[in-house]
Structure 1
Amino acid sequence: MMFLRSCSLALRCSCFRNPHVSIRAFSSSRTARKDAAENALDLDAWKSVMRSQALQEETKSPSRSAIDDNRELVEMWHQAGKFVPKNITDEQLEALAQLTTRSAKKKYLKFLAIKESHKITKKEKQEKKKSEREPEGEREREELKNTFLLKFWSSSADRVQSWRAAQAMRFGQPLVYDMSYEQHMSRRELENTIAQLMESEGWNRRAADPFHLHFCGLQPDGAYQRELLKRYGSHTWERLLITATERTHVEMFPQQDLVYLTADSKNVLHTFDHSKVYIVGAMVDRSIHSGVSLANAKRLKLATARLPLDEYLDWECGAKNLTLDQMMRILMTVKDTGSWKKALEFVPKRKHAGFQQESNRFMGTTKSRFVRDDSSESRFARNDSSESRFTRNDSSESRFPARAQNHLKNKTDGHKKQAQRAQCREDRH
């Protein structure tokens, strides 16, 4: 304690003897603090500048880095022997970057690889056909060099088709495609939809009496618009003889003239009405969301109808949803001929077993299967009539495939077993 007191007294004495020392120390510490404060302020400003630059770089570079990373991923998978496309565009890489899971990326790359292989094989076939036709074409040119017949050029055919499409825009019957289903489709389904729309437009342009096509509800910067401009090109799209508008079909036509064609409707379109405006939903739905177009039509309080597929065809498998180009060809044929039998020939043969017989559609033999009768004799009579109905024509084997014959045979056997069981019950009583 005495030592500490002596040290404190010595320090006080030294401070009184040398007063400048403490002042200098205080002044030096003050300047140091001032310099440190200035440096701290400069450091904060530098941090804010660096943060702003980093944010700008993040806003500019992530798309490029994501595209580069996905390009390296595709190249790595290609070298590893996986089924991926050899050439991929920046738009496809952007779509790939939007996918979050690895399985989704694999499926998308597989789809692109299949698409690329189809293009390659198609190009090879075209080149092969072209090489085979070249000598024949040269001989034809030599033979037709001195002839009185005029050659019909493809440009002349284009002029004729364009003139018909222009007349249809003025006097033709409208056919509306409802372009309001972007949110119900994936990117692949949207691409298939645009391909089918282009096919439908081509079939309509080549028709003798084409429809006046309306693309209603087409948003200017929507997914439909971007894909159409990508496929057609801006120059061709502007010259296309169709009506593309943002307005809906309800705004463009009277409500009583509109008929929405959907497979989910209960009303059957028995006759084609030339005064009506038929609406087709521009949608490819692989996941089969049933009732989407029907709900849209009911929301707008529109009349609905479906094609008479069950009334004319023995439908076997698959949903009754047809592609847009098939719908176009069916409507064009029934408009020109008025025959559903000719029009429904464009339905794929893999989905049905052929056309129904006239007797099945208009006679009461099919209805008798659903009539309840307690007497066993009437049941036997019905079964005999149904058996004779299936066996009365020897040429039915040539018209019906094996699957349809087995189906009819199983039905006949089932009726026989039901009759035998009923007879056994009566005998017991």
Structure 2
Amino acid sequence: MLRTLFRLAPAHSVLRQHFQLSQCTNKLLSACSLTTSAVSRNCTKIAETKTVENADQITKTHNNPFAKTKPSYDTDEATNKIPPPTGEEERAKLLKVLQLEVDIAHQEGKRVPTLESITEENWLHILTLPSKSARFKYYGYLWQVEVKRQAKERKKEERAVQVLERKEELRKQREETDHIIYGLGHTSFFLRIYDSTINNFQNNRLTRAMQFSPKIVLDCSYDQNMTRREALNAAKQLMLCFAENRAHDDPFDMHYCNVNLESVCSKALKRYIPTMLNPEFPMNVHEKCFTELFPKENLVYLTPHCRTDLEAYNPDSVYIIGAMVDTVNNEPLSLAKAKRLGIRMARLPLDRYLQWGSGSGKSLTLNQMVNILLDLKTTKDWAQALKHVPRRKLLDMESEGQQQKRLLEKRANRLNFNLNDVLDEKRNKGREEQRQKIRTHMKNTPFDVDAWGAKKKNRNSN
């Protein structure tokens, strides 16, 4: 009995200690809960009073943490944040620490720039960074800049070496041959013409065309009648119209009328020609209608839906082309607009000078129309001007004649083949009958060996 009591004694003391500890923890938890509830009540009272006092001054503001000029510093060492330097001595010490940090990271092989490549402005920015992660991100950016600069210098040195080698080879060739070597780098009398020079020349030619050349109008009022894809295609064709008109020897004074700058077509055209709205650029873009810019008696609307053909080009007339791609909607919109405005109408005499194919449409693109009018203005010849119509749309007379010839030859060959077969059958029958006669004759007459030998002996003696 005593032994069992002695065995249970230490366990009882341990249980008693655990019980005391649990009582203490319960008291502490209750005290903490009371204090936290009191603090929360005081905080809510203070917040309520502040909200009541500053209710009129409250404004919704958006705090961008990346837009802070002076970041909030923290002295906690666990977050690797460095407090801002207050004096020159602290700033110098901190700068030495950061330089040592960069040097150690560079020796460890991290993506950190060398100390020589970091400028004073970079160090000033590094001193404002609050944490180690921010500093190393900026080190990585400086490392990328340094690597790109080194690669650029290396390529420059390689190009310089190649230029020296090429010059040395040319010098050796000149020493070996006494003949004059023509080219831009040698004794050539030709000058190099740059693209900027060609652009300035063509723009100057357009400026001269604005003063003296005939007018042509591209009506850009059909945006609501086209799909997005058709509008983008129309913008590309308008850009080609300007480019091909500018490249011509005698260009038109081209005007883009009824332009809505917010439409899909106009925005796409602005991407193709970014300088189209600049005042010094030779391109006429109008938001007004062409009836407000030119006299109505000189306007001629070119539409394929009318019945009157354009007989000859008149330089006093202002020809209007509807800037519309009608792959889906083939309604006579340009005809209706010309009738509504009371303008003369005409169409190109395509059926008179061309033979269209069976599976192709007669619609032409805007740049093809401009090219036809340009050549018609200079040559006065419809056959020469209509060469801009794609050959795939026309009926090729040579290929058509060859196809007809092949068909006739095929039929003739069939007839000849049948007649030959008939003649061959008759000849074969006659030959077979003759062979059968010879065979039957040889079968009926016995073979005489003495007569055959005498005939052979007489043949040899002769």
TM-score under structure 1 length normalisation: 0.49
**Bigger Rg, structure 1 or 2:** 2
